[in-house]
């Protein structure tokens, strides 16, 4: 009798798991709050995994069962495209963003981002919290911008390279680092940081969030529907609310 009960429970659990083989979306960490909000509008309840775009791309390359991928830069989408891991014709540029310099909310530091930007001096003895410049989009944009300003060399040894942009945000929010670079949208949702300055557009490649179906996703179905939803007017309004720039 006991055995039968256990079997029944197991069967229910397995079937439940099978049924919840719903939509899996991989999205850049900076999309967390906004995308959750948008996903709530979707009839399918997608399971969204947020991490650095680099980490996600590598996981998809290793066979992760994601069906939709939203990256925070073009490089990582190109990377998967080259490896034929993206469904042809589904790729589109979804959103834009800005890079900002932040400080803890109680910090009084002032700065203007331009040539001769004294970042090293502003840091004092502390470190600049940023997503890993070697791989994570937010870090790459930062490095690109600082190199253009001639401010990269003095600070390259004074970084606190974080796993993803939200981890960098955390370090500044906790006052661990006196300064950090994150997206404007990240700064907007975190009350414990304040924006010191915005990085002018030309200093780094345009911040573009491309979205696409992965090669393992069927051309039509829940995944495709979700992708369309992301570009819908309703969704664009939501993204705008968080500070993203919807693209065409």
Pull the structure tokens for residue 180.
């950090």
What is the nearest approach in angstroms of other proteins to the Cβ of residue 54? 4
Give whichever of 23 and 177 is closer to other proteins, judged by the CB atom: 177
Give whichever of 127 and 204 is closer to other proteins, judged by the CB atom: 127
Give whichever of 132 and 186 is closer to other proteins, judged by the CB atom: 132
Burial label for 194, CB within 10 Å (0-12, 13-18, 19+), is middle
Give whichever of 170 and 235 is closer to other proteins, judged by the CB atom: 170
What is the nearest approach in angstroms of other proteins to the Cβ of residue 21? 25
Give whichever of 136 and 213 is closer to other proteins, judged by the CB atom: 136
Pull the structure tokens for residue 138.
């937010």
Binding positions for other proteins, rule: CB under 8 A: 52, 54-55, 58, 79, 127, 129, 132, 134-136, 159-163, 167, 170-171, 174-177
What is the nearest approach in angstroms of other proteins to the Cβ of residue 110? 21
Give whichever of 8 and 134 is closer to other proteins, judged by the CB atom: 134
Pull the structure tokens for residue 78.
């190109």
What is the nearest approach in angstroms of other proteins to the Cβ of residue 170? 7
Give whichever of 52 and 208 is closer to other proteins, judged by the CB atom: 52
What is the nearest approach in angstroms of other proteins to the Cβ of residue 138? 13
The three-state (H, E, C) secondary structure of the chain, written as one string = CHHHHHHHHHHHHHHHHHHCCCCEEEEEHHHHHHHHHHHCCCCCCCEEEEECHHHHHHHHHCCCCCCEEECCCHHHHHHHHHCCCECCCCCEEEEECCEEEEEECCCCCCCCCCCCCCHHHHHCCCCEEEECCCCCHHHHHHHHHHHHHCCHHHHCCCEEEECCHHHHHHHHHCCCCCEEEEEHHHHHHCCCEEEEEECCHHHCCCCEEEEEEECCCCCCCHHHHHHHHHHCHHHHHHHHHHCCEECC
What is the nearest approach in angstroms of other proteins to the Cβ of residue 8? 29
Q: What is the largest CA-CA distance in the chain?
A: 79
What is the nearest approach in angstroms of other proteins to the Cβ of residue 35? 21
């Amino acid at each position: 009798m006991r055995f039968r009960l256990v079997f029944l429970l197991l069967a229910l659990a397995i079937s439940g798991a099978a049924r919840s083989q719903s939509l899996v979306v991989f999205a850049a960490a900076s999309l967390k709050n906004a995308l959750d909000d948008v996903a709530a509008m979707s009839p399918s309840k997608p399971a969204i995994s947020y991490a650095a775009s680099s980490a996600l791309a590598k996981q998809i390359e290793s066979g992760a069962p994601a069906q939709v991928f939203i990256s925070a830069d073009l490089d990582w989408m190109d990377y998967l495209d080259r490896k034929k891991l993206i469904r042809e014709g589904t790729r589109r540029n979804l959103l834009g963003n800005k890079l900002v310099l932040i400080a803890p909310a109680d910090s009084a530091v002032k700065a203007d981002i331009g040539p001769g930007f004294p970042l090293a001096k502003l840091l004092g003895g502390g470190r600049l919290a940023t997503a890993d410049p070697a791989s994570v989009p937010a870090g790459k944009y930062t490095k690109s911008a600082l190199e253009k300003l001639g401010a990269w060399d003095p600070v390259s040894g004074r970084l606190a390279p974080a796993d993803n942009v939200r981890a960098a945000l955390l370090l500044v929010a906790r006052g661990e680092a006196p300064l950090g670079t994150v997206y404007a949208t990240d700064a907007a949702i975190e009350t414990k940081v304040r924006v010191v300055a915005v990085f002018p557009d030309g200093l780094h490649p345009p911040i573009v969030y491309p979205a696409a179906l992965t090669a393992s996703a069927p051309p039509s179905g829940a995944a495709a529907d979700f992708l369309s939803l992301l570009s819908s007017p309703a969704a664009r309004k939501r993204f705008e609310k968080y500070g993203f720039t919807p693209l065409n």
